[in-house]
Amino acid sequence: MDSASEDCSDNSQRPDPHNNNNDQQVYFVPLRWWKDAQDSMPAADFDKTIGIVYASLPSSSYAGPMKIINNIFNSDLVLNFRGEDDSQHISENGEVGVSGRDFALVSGDMWLQALKWHSDSKNATKDDKGFSATDSDMGDVYPLQLRLSIQTETSSFAVRISKKDNATELFKRACKMFSVDSEMLRIWDFSGQITFYFMNGEYQVPIDSQRQSDQEILLELQVYGLSDSMRCRDMKKDEMPNFSSSASLKMNGTADSMNSDGSHANSLTISSGPGEAGSLGLTGLQNLGNTCFMNSALQCLTHTPKLVDYFLEDYGREINHDNPLGMNGEIALAFGDLLRKLWAPGASPVPPRTFKSKLARFAPQFSGFNQHDSQELLAFLLDGLHEDLNRVKCKPYAEAKDGDDRPDEEVADEYWHNHLARNDSVIVDVCQGQYKSTLVCPVCRKVSVTFDPFMYLSLPLPSTTMRTMTLTVVSSNCDGKSQLLPYTISVPKNGRFEDLTRALGTACSLGADETLLVAEVYNNCIIRFLEDPSDSLSLIRDADKLVAYRFMKDNGDAPLVVFINQRMEEQYIHGKAAPNWKAFGIPVVARLCNTINGSDLCNLYLKWFRSFQISIEEALENCLVPEKTEEVAEVQGVSTPSDEGMEFYMTDEKGTVKNSKILMNEPLAINEELKLLHVLVCWSEKQIKNYDTQLCSSLPEVFKSSFLAKRPQESASLYKCLEAFLQEEPLGPDDMWYCPGCKEHRQASKKLDLWRLPEILVIHLKRFQYSRYMKNKLETYVDFPVDNLDLSAYIAHADDKSYKYTLYAVSNHYGSMGGGHYTAFVHHGGDQWYDFDDSRVYPISKEKIKSSAAYVLFYRRVFEVSTE
């Protein structure tokens, strides 16, 4: 038991000199609650005592939120009250004005009378025989110690609330209750207790007394109807949740049901007996320091049907202390104890210290006070609860067998039977399903089918299944002019190169008689051609620059020539200018169909640059090249070409070596077996001026991420995410499968299918991306059904059953990677939803449930029932 609870218990036993029994205790209640009962009952049946009103005096201390902080960090909260004429609070129709800052002091008898009236008004019964406050009502009451100083001369009194007299949590409540804003606070005394102090001389304190603390009166108030978890009582009637009334604290253990007209039958039964209903389960969790991720996951789990019923009953008998995979039942006990505290009537925000210490002990990754992932905690907790509560004491060995062409139904049942023989707990009963996994070898076509259990589904978002890539397509039209056009396409992130060429061909309207040759360009040189259709797209990085050259298919046997463009640039070394050849522009790739000599090669090259020519006549004059053969050494050792022309050289693939100069009127010495020729083209400065080389020098990256540009928010339906999850895809290079047919590891294709769905379906949206170089969060808006998630069409085998689900909880993450904040949305009967933001719990409209912050979705299965 935590210290706050111990303090609360001690204070409740402290005797009061004037209140020796429950009937004489003084209750502090909302005036509206009291007046509703007092005004509605006849005088013969109800105490019609007129209250004496006392109003708070202006204080010189901090106001508003600063006052709360000041009071919490100081030892005492001090308020001054003065008696007022109650006529000024009576309206023209004779009714007492009631605001959210009006409270009443009533005796124990009065409190019971009002409590019974509220109970009768809800249950429509007038039988008052044997009525008494239930445990639920008493759970909504907490004690508060006050010290009063009476000053008869000014008809005023001072109230001091001290940390020494009250538990820390109760003191904080008092600070919020009395100091939440600067409005005047009024107390209506119907009990006569304050009047008694004014009339009794021994309690009066002289105005000039310097020993006020020695003459203070210790008064214990029983506060009712003002706990944090009961804030819903201050709402308007049309904002109140619609709970069914029962004498038990229980969430309907059976699966939810749906009427044939689509409406839901009552599935949530939450009540606190004759008292006010609706506060059960609306208890927050204190943030212990970056524990919002834990609070969010816990609120979702502690509002899960079946689990609530299970842990509110005697679950201790199922704890497996001998399971080596478990945690000696400590996680289950800590979780069960926390759940019971959260579902206790009138509970205040709970500090989950015990649970967190157990969590840190068995899962050190969650120790300390760093922010973590709520889904990762959820995965650990579900598995830990299962092992702690596993009914199987001795797990039998079961060998996994392949399908061997047997019917899927037979194989699936065999796998499930073997699984249950080793795993049997409330978690398996409620949360576990089964999917079919199919692997196909790309070489021998061996097919392997297994059926594996799952606790939750991790669905990829569209941004994680598809990849955007930009490539430059280079093509020549009928008159020889070339075009450079960038195209942006979407391809499967885990796809193959054939997916890229297919998508790019569609984007650029590639003809049936055309083909594409894709190359990667680096430093204005082609470093590789991408030709293997089975290569993984993961080999292409976002910073790469890709060019796709467009050719006619009928020229496919002709040798390929790659022209590398170079120009002279001055480079300063130790302050001296030194000439240096440097590549520029996009490499030109062409087919040597009818090329015979150097002049044909030159014309083929210039034809490609015709689109970038500034002056055609001048360019033709400058194309005169000296016809003289000469062997040339490395690039740094060659002479500059004539100012009027270009020089062509045979070179290597990087363009770093000039082997032999190509003469215009001499035939090309090309080996017939040669399929690829590299030619270095050295431009003179005058020739460069005749062309707009900038147009062919800029290549876009495959993907350019911008941290400053705000990308439009993506959206997708939950069904689309599920379809992406179930789509066949190749395994990654780091996740190869050992094929029993080939006896080697292969990059097989994998296909998942849903086979058996659980009663509680947890869906994890994979918003967080991790790579070697960066972390990223996807803000994709997922449109998920709230009332009717129908998965009937996604079951791999036809069993004519309905698989419909309704949402009951959401774990949200706001902000960016490595930080942000977690909250939880929880359904609490009817159309009422609540936002659990650590210790704060407040209603939220159903329309706000869907957002791009949704991270983990919790669904429960519903069954259609006939209304006949």
Distances in Å between the Cα of 657 and the Cα atoms of 186, 391, 651, 679 are: 95, 75, 5, 10
Contact 186, 53 (CB under 8 A): yes
152: which 2 tokens? 């008869």
Cα angle for residues 352, 353, 356 (degrees, 5° grid): 85
Q: Is 559 helix (H, G, I), strand (E, B) or coil?
A: coil
745 is catalytic: no
Q: Give me the catalytic one of 292, 508, 623, 696.
A: 292
292 is catalytic: yes
Judged on CB neighbours under 10 Å (0-12, 13-18, 19+), 169 is buried
Q: Mutual orientation of helices 108-123 and 31-40 as an angle, nearest 10°?
A: 70
Identify the CA nearest to 601 among candidates 586, 588, 612, 583.
Answer: 588
- Could you give the CA distance from residue 69 to residue 176 in angstroms, rounded to a whole number? 10
Contact 643, 685 (CB under 8 A): yes
681: which 2 tokens? 């083209």
Identify the CA nearest to 626 among candidates 611, 643, 609, 610.
Answer: 643
645: which 2 tokens? 């022309």
Q: What is the DSSP letter of 249?
A: B
- Could you give the CA distance from residue 833 to residue 442 in angstroms, rounded to a whole number? 50
**Backbone dihedral region for residue 673 (phi beyond 0: left; psi -120 to 50: alpha; all else: beta):** alpha
Cα angle for residues 279, 310, 388 (degrees, 5° grid): 125
Judged on CB neighbours under 10 Å (0-12, 13-18, 19+), 723 is middle
Helices (DSSP H) in 389-461: which residue ranges? 408-422, 426-431
Show Cβ contacts of residue 425 under 8 Å, excluding neighbours closer than 6 positions: 318, 385, 386, 387, 389, 390, 391
Bridge partners of residue 218, in order along the sequence: 147
Q: What is the DSSP letter of 46?
A: S
Cα angle for residues 640, 642, 647 (degrees, 5° grid): 75
Residues marked active site are found at: 292, 821
